[in-house]
Structure 1
């Protein structure tokens, strides 16, 4: 596939085989974000796990201290007082059976779904629709809960769900190109701290195999895993 002139020009700024320190990597990735919109900075972390084994299928949530810079559209399945609580907390769409029917009809204009436990009988039938999109509420991700005020506030503020894919990689947005290097590094440190604590006992060898950050429309920058571990210990 042909690369755009802008992409080729930014690629020339990257030493493809070099492993950059976290500080230098984020300084460079901001230079690579030259599109005419505020590009998202993405992190891809390849971990030394085998996701086919349940005890190595890493999944959880992390709250970024600097937020994501993204507007998050939340759907909440709740009824009665809990529905009122979700609305007052700032949920974008709140409902029950009628909301499920809307989604079954093909509506998916939201980023995250939260449900109270007593609504899972309604949400359960949406598994074939929400599951492949990564939108199915799950207790491990904090998206099945009665604490709706807290959950809505956290996800609106920058709480992210992460899950290792079948190749052992975790993909997460880490902020926007408009963020300062310090803000990006703060988010990076939080994610790396969180992942390091998730290392399964069954994982063998190096846990952080490779780390790459990239802007939405630009090339990737490789970060040295060893330098990252030193950075976390500072």
Structure 2
């Protein structure tokens, strides 16, 4: 894989075998500032077997300082909830009309919320939304009767995460332009959430590794003390 000069310079500026505390890792990443504002992410490798339903790790967390990007929220609802959703900041709100638009290829949104009574309607686009991680789910808090609160949380920086087939969790924690303190607080919020959501059936080491990275920067190992 091709790596640019900037990437190589950053990679050579720190010890790839060492585990750093959060502020040190952020300082290293900030050396990789480019013409665009990179997304900072935290990556976990977990000691779980996602093949077993009782070891699937998933959750949501509202980042204290948001994600640094505008989230376009689509709400499937009807009647009075249409105005409630729009008043709360939803970019789009509707029912079967929006399902048809999605079937025609429309995907100009980042998060989807639905009231319980709309689930049969949007099941028609489950194969479109599901692979993109946008299918509303009670576990993710996106199937709800409290439309206003959910929309506001998503707009404020609520993110969701789910362990993948390789037992990894990837979550955005902000932009590289954030202050170090903002990135520390956001990252700690995600780590605390993943720790809290440890499956009861998980045995042995739960979090095997923890890495902080940015869009165009190498991954930096984090001190596992952050998970305790």
Q: How would you bin the TM-score normalised by the shorter chain?
A: over 0.9
* Alpha-carbon distance between aligned partners in 2 of 1:2 and 1:199, rounded to the nearest angstrom: 37
How far did residue 87 of structure 1 move? 0.7
Correspondence for 2:20: 20
Correspondence for 1:143: 142
* Alpha-carbon distance between aligned partners in 2 of 1:174 and 1:191, rounded to the nearest angstrom: 8
Q: Once the two structures are superposed, what CA deviation does each residue of 1:11-35 show, in whole Å capped at 9, x if it has no partner? A: 2113111111222112212222x21
The farther-off stretch of 194-203 and 155-164 is: 194-203
Q: TM-score, normalised by structure 1?
A: 0.94
The answer to whether the 8 Å contact 2:59/2:194 transfers is no
Correspondence for 2:125: 126
Across the aligned residues of Structure 1 and Structure 2, the Cα RMSD in angstroms comes to 1.1
* Alpha-carbon distance between aligned partners in 1 of 2:205 and 2:22, rounded to the nearest angstrom: 18
Q: Secondary structure at the match of 2:161?
A: strand
How far did residue 60 of structure 1 move? 1.5
Correspondence for 2:35: 36
Equivalent runs, 1:50-199 vs 2, <5 Å: 50-199=49-198
Correspondence for 1:223: 222
Correspondence for 1:8: 8
Q: Secondary structure at the match of 2:87?
A: helix
Gaps of 5+ in 2: none
* Alpha-carbon distance between aligned partners in 2 of 1:49 and 1:108, rounded to the nearest angstrom: 33
Number of aligned pairs? 228
* Alpha-carbon distance between aligned partners in 2 of 1:80 and 1:201, rounded to the nearest angstrom: 41
* Alpha-carbon distance between aligned partners in 1 of 2:2 and 2:27, rounded to the nearest angstrom: 27
The answer to whether the 8 Å contact 2:192/2:227 transfers is no
Q: Secondary structure at the match of 1:141?
A: coil
Q: TM-score, normalised by structure 2?
A: 0.96
* Alpha-carbon distance between aligned partners in 1 of 2:185 and 2:56, rounded to the nearest angstrom: 26
| Structure 1 segments (4+ residues) deviating >2 Å | none
